[in-house]
Amino acid sequence: MGVARIAALDIDRPGVDPQHLIDDLRERDVVGVGRAGVAPTLVQPDPLAGKFWTAGATDPRPPPRSAILVTMPSDSNVFETTTWERDIGAARGTRVGAAAGARQLGCTLYELDPGGQAAPYHMHHANEELLLVLEGVLELRTPEGIRAVGKGAVVAFPAGAEGAHRLRNATDAPARYVLGSTMRFPEVAEQLDTGTVLALKGPADGWAFPEGSAGDYMALTAQALEADKAT
């Protein structure tokens, strides 16, 4: 758990019982409650002194409304991340969406050194992706050709052949970007230059089949039936 954040909930709207909310927050190990701009009152001992606000802390915002102040974990920061789940030399990546608690949306942060590339030219049959360039300039390959996309660029990659893409850092400066995505699994992806097919049951979890390794469906099913008879 990192440095605490402060969240404000309106407790003056009709039908809200502030004391009921306070009692509920006590049961959830919230450190204290108060009004925006005013030092909060401790409702129970501070369990992580120095990492959460204490009785002397104040909300730096102006006091627009009544509020309940709650402790929250530190957020991921795509500009400050320096630890990576995947490191392949000139390319690094980490799932910031999962780290933030996302379940139905994926978001991965990538950093590329000059010449770096995190994935080959590929397409997804089930999932759509969205690119946001944070720093530097990337070389983007799509079915329409190759073009440069710079800081602030947003590009969508729909599921299917029209969304095929590849990103490479062809400059002499570092580049950083995020790819957001739907999270539909199981799913099939293809690496188009080699014909490799990926059968995925989850993020980075599945099987890879090189081109030419596919068998006849009915023949394989017949083999499975025969194998089942032997059990």
Same domain assignment for residues 94 and 67: no
Q: Are 98 and 188 found together in one domain? A: yes
Determine what percent of the chain is predicted with pLDDT higher than 90.
65
Evaluate whether residue 227 is within a structural domain: no
CA-angle at 166, arms to 200 and 149, nearest 5°: 135
Q: Please report the pLDDT score of residue 17 as a whole number.
A: 67
Structure-model confidence comparison of residues 77 and 17, the more confident one: 77
Phi/psi at 35 (nearest 5 deg)? -105, 150
Query: Same domain for 104 and 176?
Result: yes
Q: Is residue 62 a part of any domain in this protein?
A: yes
Q: For residue 25, what pLDDT band results from cuts at 50, 70 and 90?
A: low
Domain boundary residue, one of 24, 44, 74: 74
pLDDT tens digit string along 152-181?
A: 999 999 999 999 999 999 999 999 999 999
- Residue 201, domain extent: 86-209
Instruction: Give 32-68 pLDDT, tens digit per residue.
Output: 545 444 444 444 444 444 333 334 444 454 544 444 4
Calculate mean pLDDT across residues 183-212.
96
Q: Residues 98, 191: one domain? A: yes
Output the average pLDDT for the chain.
81
The CA R_g of the chain, rounded to the nearest whole Å, is: 25
Same domain? 65 vs 111: no
What integer pLDDT is reported at residue 131 of this predicted model? 98
pLDDT at 2: 42
Residue 166 is assigned to a structural domain of this protein: yes
Q: What is the mean pLDDT of residues 167-196?
A: 98
Residue ending a domain, among 74, 106, 139, is 74
103 with 181, same domain: the answer is yes
Give pLDDT, residue 67: 47
Same structural domain, 8 and 120: no
Q: Are residues 107 and 198 in the same domain?
A: yes
Same domain, 69 and 97: no
Total number of domains constituting the chain: 2
Residue 59 has which token pair? 């909300």
**Domain CATH number, residue 164:** 2.60.120.10
Distance CA 97, CA 48 (A): 26
Whether cis (ω within 30° of 0) applies to the bond prior to 174 is: no
pLDDT higher than 90, residue 22: no
| pLDDT of res. 208 | 96
The pTM assigned to this predicted structure is: 0.68
Amino acid (1-letter code) at residue 146:
I
pLDDT attached to residue 35: 47
91-136 pLDDT per residue, tens: 999 999 999 999 999 999 999 999 999 999 999 999 999 999 999 9
Number of Cβ within 10 Å of residue 104's Cβ equals 8
22 and 108 inside one domain: no
Among 74, 100, 127, the domain-final residue is: 74
Residue 223 lies in a domain: no
- Which is higher by pLDDT, 72 or 91? 91
Is 127 domain-assigned?
yes
- Residue 223's contacts (CB-CB under 8 Å, 6 or more residues apart) are none
Q: Are 129 and 16 found together in one domain?
A: no
Same domain for 202 and 90? yes
Residue 3 has pLDDT above 80, yes or no: no
**pLDDT interval class at 204 (50, 70, 90):** confident
Looking at mean pLDDT, say which of 2-11, 68-77, 208-217 comes out highest. 208-217
pLDDT of residue 76: 82
